Structure 1
């Protein structure tokens, strides 16, 4: 069944179940079981053994610890503990009071995570988790739902990272482009120059970013998002109370300190940012052979260990600030324990997502889709559109942008180089755009999971509320890619894409009843 149309079954089944049941763990679990049994020809014993092996490989691989996943999971726990110390010390409450005096509207509160999401462009994981910690006290005070916050985080983190050359994504993409240019003997530009020239053709990214700010300015609450925003305004419930625990939410487990200061929130975050960025630079220099420039540093950096070290430093700073207060309201063990507990929902979802991603990889779902694409006969003018849609479906099914990059960039580059070299860069850019689009729609995407965690949102609520916005941006980008293929222009399709987003947003604003609020 590997590499055939049957390899789509676990991914499609999982997606359908998520939409029907809204239970992400159940849906992922069924997808894992079905996929494992398919790989073992329906042998129950062998299938169960395979599931256990895939789970164990998250922690131990080829006789040694799988430090990449262990570091990331540990960082999530550390982030929960940091958040608990910031909350228990009264830092989050103090920052909220300070922000309310200066940020007086819900629009202003929405701008905080959106602008921070653009400024913090080094890595999408770091972006998703750090922005949520800073923005949450502000958005909570203005009763923005956690689903809306998660949308702001997710729709700025990956889009800005994928077009930034000085980022973990940019460095990886530039390296891949270099090998594609060499393989196809293309010498008119180098990999870095090609990456920069590709940026205007990444139509989905610009559509998604523009839609974020239109959503803030016009208060576009579409579909399920309107329900969450209405509840937040009317009742103050930022999450659906019927959904139970959400990642990163402490649920008032302990009483925060009455004499907290803004510094009790700011310094742990500064420590997190500084510790992570410095470690990324140091690990990048250490892993680079020869002289190290900024691109080689970010190409060779170890993001997961950097996050872990930044998390450790942040916890230590938060701990020192908490114990230095007079008469803390809760014991250190209580704060520590509740911080760990708050991250368990995210840990469960991430582990299940990794497991089904492994199974989908073994079933060669991505390779099957790529093979069908490479064998298809179509008008080359529609190449960017087809690549965009296929990359989107592949990222949606597999839950990985990077995996889609690795499969689709070489294929798209080879087809364009042979058929129409003028479409080479737009074709590669369409892969990046489609991968981010599919990533935004996928419940098993790690960046989607971490955006939910950073925002303290129920994960499936985030997926369902972000979907309409992602589809709007994708529709506009699809029309832009048609124009790009037919005209050969770059700037006209980008302009048209943005105009379409504005027209759709204004139409929704005009005909969609508004939620009443004071700002």
Structure 2
């Protein structure tokens, strides 16, 4: 049956409901149900039955899906052990001992945020709460601390080699490869998106520039001037968030050791390359062939499991917890990823629904007739930004947009990495601007900043990097060169930042 323009109804319904309810789970399920109803001659009862029997359960039950869900859970477990062992706190204290100025305090906060590249929630709460005493001492405003924390947590999770975000995105990419009949490593495909993830890169660069040059402008300049000259880290009447209720796993009371975080991360990252070669048939296959044929999901799963064993053994040896408490951490780690499980499953399902309805084919045909291929990455970025801003979730944006962007890129012969990166960048850009974003809220909480003040002071910087990202995606769509696009985007961003600083900035005295 040909549905034509009606094939857009399920993803459009998912988008609209996500915007209205600000919750992506019921929105995605409604999209699955509507698509299943359409497939079964618009019978809503058969649609409900088919939602599970033909779409949700088949996507949930195969070996590949189970592998993805399992390594998502293992990452939750690894983070629970790292949080309990206190290794991140030990690293932060080692960094801050060298801090002598406000610039050093801010730079150390950014560095610590980059070090914790594997999970955004853990990043936002840990970096903000640990570095707060250091930035307070140097009279850095809480708004500035929250901005640095927020602008490093999510972007670095998609620029690092492995993280909870990476495994989530790999799950979405792999599902589309199955739908499109593509035999390619989802992990290597993800890695190829990193240089095209313009907003994430530019947001990090902007943080570094603002710290080093002190080019604060807009409300942030006022906040920094107030903090330096009066010592008021929050404006009068501000209501700082509290992060105490958001930490599920309490850190050990014993003196934490840096190796409690460093060693498990070295195990995790060190095992991935040899496991890639092994699952790819090396040495029977040559290096390039082995990497191309490797099983990325199983490689990361085994590496994460090994890192968990090492982290648990270190904690037991140091008597940070007993075996019963360790098993409790395992359960807490898996429970922390339940939301990811649900969104992934529904995202796979709505991808299957759109495939059955021919949604991708319709969009591709429409785009070929009406839109230049060079504009596709920009449009994907903008739509992703709107969805993320209004829903407050990057994960939900990725779940809705990747099943649309990848078939579009495949059919129109546009760089797959570029279109996926446009989704990722748009999701994070909207997330940084949204007052209902979970990472924005956690950044305020971890930094003990007034949430609305954080949103208002961060917005001008996010918009500056976002506009520069639009130009970068436009150039990438024309040239397909990430280097040229990134350089032009960076030059535009630096120029805008300087102009804004001269126009709306304020000379902020250096801290102690």
Q: TM-score scaled by structure 2?
A: 0.64
State the 1:337 CA deviation: 3.8
316, 330, 335: which one aligns with 2:312: 316
Query: Does 2:83 align with 1:83?
Result: yes
Report the Cα distance in structure 2 between the residues aligned to 1:286 and 1:485, rounded to whole angstroms.
Answer: 34
CA RMSD of aligned residues (A): 5.6
Q: 1:9 to 1:271 in 2, by over 3 A?
A: same
Aligned partners of 1:114 and 1:212 also within 8 Å: no
SS at match of 1:35: helix
Structure 1: distance between partners of 2:63 and 2:444: 36
Q: 1:74 to 1:81 in 2, by over 3 A?
A: same
TM-score normalised over the length of structure 1? 0.63
The equivalences for 1:115-126 within 5 A come to 116=115, 126=118
Choose the corresponding residue for 2:337, options 340, 344, 347. Answer: 347
Q: Which of 470, 475, 499 in structure 2 is aligned with 1:478?
A: 470
Q: Is 1:213 matched with 2:204?
A: no
Q: Give how far 1:108 is off.
A: 2.0
Distance 2:467 2:240 in 1: 29
Equivalent-residue separation in structure 1 for 2:430 and 2:92 (angstroms): 32
Structure 2: 5+ residue runs without aligned partners? Answer: 136-141, 182-187, 388-395, 432-436
How much does 1:112 deviate?
Answer: 0.8
- Asked if 2 retains the 8 angstrom alpha-carbon contact of 1:412 and 1:428, the reply is no
- 1:282-361 equivalences in 2 (<5 Å): 282-288=275-281, 290-293=284-287, 296-297=290-291, 300=294, 301-302=296-297, 303-323=299-319, 333=324, 337=328, 341=332, 344=335, 346-361=336-351
Aligned to 1:184: none
Write the distance in 2 (CA, Å) between the matches of 1:488 and 1:315: 42
- In structure 2, relative to structure 1, the CA distance for the partners of 1:150 and 1:70 (3 Å cut) is farther
Are 1:384 and 2:383 counterparts?
no
Unpaired stretches in structure 1, ≥5 consecutive residues: 22-26, 121-125, 181-191, 415-426, 444-448
Give the 3-state SS of the residue equivalent to 2:379 in structure 1: helix
The answer for the alignment partner of 2:424 in structure 1 is: 436
Partner residue in 2 for 1:34: 30
2:139 aligned residue: none
Residues 53-452 of structure 1: matches in 2 within 5 Å?
61-62=61-62, 66-84=66-84, 86-87=85-86, 91=87, 93-104=89-100, 105-113=104-112, 116=115, 126=118, 139-142=131-134, 148-159=148-159, 204=199, 206-217=201-212, 218=214, 233-234=233-234, 241=241, 245-246=245-246, 249-250=247-248, 253=250, 256-257=253-254, 260-261=255-256, 264-288=257-281, 290-293=284-287, 296-297=290-291, 300=294, 301-302=296-297, 303-323=299-319, 333=324, 337=328, 341=332, 344=335, 346-364=336-354, 367=360, 370-371=363-364, 373-378=366-371, 380=372, 383-390=373-380, 393=383, 398-400=397-399, 403=403, 406-413=406-413, 430-441=418-429
Name the CA shift for 1:223/1:12 in 2 (closer, same or farther; >3 Å): farther
Question: 1:6 — aligned with what?
Answer: 9
What do the CA deviations read for 1:50-89 (whole angstroms, capped 9, x no partner)?
369877667x5149981321222133023213311x13xx
Q: 1:336 to 1:52 in 2, by over 3 A?
A: farther
Given the superposition, is the C-alpha separation of residues 394 and 132 from structure 1 closer, same or farther in structure 2, using an over 3 Å criterion? closer
Q: Distance in 1 between matches of 2:293 and 2:265?
A: 21
- Is the 8 Å Cα contact of residues 198 and 469 (structure 2) preserved in structure 1? yes
User: How far apart, CA to CA, are the structure 1 residues paired with 2:55 and 2:383?
Assistant: 24
